[in-house]
Amino acid sequence: MKQKLIIITGSPCVGKTTIADLLYQSYNNSAFFDGDWAWCVNPFSVADPRLRNGDRVMSFALDNYLQSKFDYVVFSSVVVLYEDIRRPILEGITAQDYTVVAFTLTCSEETLRARHRHRGDQGECSFHWLHLPPHPGDHVICTDGRSPSEIVREMRDIIDATN
């Protein structure tokens, strides 16, 4: 079996970290990297050129896990919705012979607003990321009214069917 790099992206509060954590725990010989921590800076601006350093951190971490022969490497990040960010991160990986399986999680504005409140965020809930088109080729999964375990089962069916 080829190693699988599993990318999970979508709006903040859509469930990426929860799903990624459960997914990686569901597979033996797996690793999980939350790429949003590589971009955790204050103040935050997508236009900040220093964030390219965070992209290199993501490439390094993912490459390290793949080179370490984990069968499943789960990677979640909001920023890999953008092709001009995802592509260089993947190009920075030197490991060979692995398959990428990517997911964009989505939900309704109502669900996002409720999750934002539940998380205790004090700021305004932004729908910017929610309304971006999914990355081409990603499997799109709506998380409305579904438990994390249901979503993980659906993702595993797709992942396990991928060569």
Torsion sign, CA atoms 51, 85, 45, 66: negative
42 falls in which pLDDT band (50, 70, 90)? confident
Confidence of residue 163 (pLDDT cuts 50, 70, 90): confident
CATH number, domain of 130, equals 3.40.50.300
Token pair recorded at residue 55: 């992209």
Residue 120 reports pLDDT greater than 80: no
Query: The tokens 């089962």 sit on which residue?
Result: 153
DSSP 133: P
**What pLDDT does 72 receive?**
98
Residue 128 pLDDT class (50, 70, 90 cuts)? confident
- DSSP assignments along 4-64, one per residue: EEEEEEESTTSSHHHHHHHHHHHSSSEEEEEGGGGG--SS--TT-TTHHHHHHHHHHHHHH
Residue 13 pLDDT grade (very low, low, confident, very high; cuts 50, 70, 90) = confident
Cβ atoms 6, 101 nearer than 8 A:
yes
Report the pLDDT value the prediction gives residue 104, as an integer from 0 to 100. Answer: 98
pLDDT score of 18:
95
Range of the domain at 28: 3-160
| Domain total in the chain | 1
Which of 85-90's residues contact partners 24+ apart within 8 Å by CB, and which partners? Answer: 85/55, 86/7, 86/135, 88/52, 88/55, 88/59, 89/35, 89/55, 89/58, 89/59, 89/62, 90/59
pLDDT tens digit sequence for 55-102: 999 999 999 999 999 999 999 999 899 999 999 999 999 999 999 999
Indicate if the pLDDT at residue 121 is higher than 90. no
